[in-house]
Amino acid sequence: MNVLQLASGTGLNGAIRHCYDLTCQLARRGHRVWVAHKPNAWILSQPLPENVELIESSLRRDRQELSRLASIADQLGIDVLHTHNSSSHFFGVLMARAYGLRVVATCHMPHLQPHWWWNDRVIAPTRSTETFQRWVNWVPRSRIDIIPNFIDASRLKPTRSASDILAELGLLPDDLILSIVGEVCSRKSQHTLIQALPELISAGLSPRLLLVGRIDAAYGRKCVAMIRKLNLESNVLMLGQRSDVANLLSITKCACLPSKKEVMPIALLEAMSVGLPVIATAVGGVEECVRDGIDGFIVDRSPSAFSEGLIAMARNPKLFEQMGENARRSMQTTFSPEACLVRIEATYETACKKNRIAA
């Protein structure tokens, strides 16, 4: 099958990561894949299989660019478009409806956007996302496929020894190293973990919190002020955007997610796939991938809830180990490429076979 992926984001986030991983996996399964991207996109710096090609596009929703990309799609014999970000979703619908193409869209973050109705198929990573699309954007249930995000654990192998990474960051093997991977912003609510650290210290633990991801300027200043006020300068490392997340996960004891809003966070799945227990808030599809008390703990978004869960884990090393192993097995059976790709391919086939939605 010939697939054109549309990714309008230029930086790295969950949607872009999923698009890239999906592109590579489809190519390995014998499909021809093209990715339409904006200038200076993150994907330009990434290795790609031989049967993947890139197409630069502004993805502006004007007649000239829609026509240009549709002409390219016609020349390439594209069977289906697959869109991944808000701008590309709208662009893909316009292109498909105007030029007779089939379009599939994955909802990485639900928003009120009436154009969702015009997709041939919608992939919802979680049941809650499927419900949102049906009741808010009026997408018929018959056009939605619930397929979770997947993680290719092979790309998360560390490239350096744990001792080297610990030395670089000034950490010790016995430290309780916690990580939050994702943009440092209000939605991710990293300050909740910062506020939980004093209670961990009072319990005799040595917590070290790694904040990994692009830092929103205003929210970053808020976090820095809080760190200084609580005298946690040696306990919190704001590392910014990193290309070695696998190395950082290899020294992490527990992955944390205090977010206010999520769908199915890639960072959480990555942590679980390498055998880390997790502690997270019950937002979006988190409860669909984290089994409370089995893979980690689901807690409310309060500092005390996170500190209590982390103390319970830290005082029971066997619990740490068992939850991490449970998480790894769950990823292998339910959230692996092998489990999810066949379902995405079936969605493509359905989109290609169905009658075109009347414009």
Domains delineated in the chain: 2-150+337-353 (3.40.50.2000), 154-334 (3.40.50.2000)
Q: What is the layout of strands, in order, in the sheet containing 207-212?
A: 236-240, 207-212, 176-181, 254-257, 278-281, 296-299
Calpha distance 139→130 (Å, rounded): 9
Q: How far is CA 249 from CA 63, 166, 270, in A?
A: 45, 11, 9
Residue 359 has a pLDDT of 45
3-state secondary structure of 296: strand
The two counts, helices (H) then strands (E), for the chain are: 13, 13
Residue 358 has a pLDDT of 47
Q: How far is CA 57 from CA 43, 159, 332, in A?
A: 13, 34, 36
3-state secondary structure of 245: helix
Q: Which two tokens stand for residue 260?
A: 């206010």
User: Which residues have a Cβ under 8 Å from the Cβ of 160 and sit 6 or more positions away?
Assistant: 244, 247
Say if residue 275 is exposed, middle or buried (CB neighbours under 10 Å; 0-12, 13-18, 19+).
middle
Strands (E), the chain: 2-7, 32-37, 52-56, 80-83, 103-106, 121-124, 144-146, 176-181, 207-212, 236-240, 254-257, 278-281, 296-299
Residue 110 has a pLDDT of 87
pTM attached to this predicted model? 0.87
Q: How far is CA 246 from CA 94, 115, 249, 349, in A?
A: 38, 37, 5, 34
- pLDDT of the chain, 359 residues: tens digit per residue: 999 999 998 888 889 999 999 999 999 999 999 999 999 999 999 999 999 999 999 999 999 999 999 999 999 999 999 999 889 999 999 999 999 999 999 999 888 999 999 999 999 999 999 999 999 999 999 999 999 999 988 889 999 999 999 999 999 999 999 999 999 999 999 999 999 999 999 999 999 999 999 999 999 999 999 999 999 999 999 999 998 999 999 999 999 999 998 888 899 999 999 999 999 999 988 999 999 999 999 999 999 999 999 999 999 989 989 999 999 999 999 999 999 999 999 999 999 986 555 44
For the chain, the C-alpha Rg in angstroms (whole number) is 21
Q: What is the layout of strands, in order, in the sheet containing 144-146?
A: 52-56, 32-37, 2-7, 80-83, 103-106, 121-124, 144-146
Say if residue 86 is exposed, middle or buried (CB neighbours under 10 Å; 0-12, 13-18, 19+).
middle
Residue 354 has a pLDDT of 66
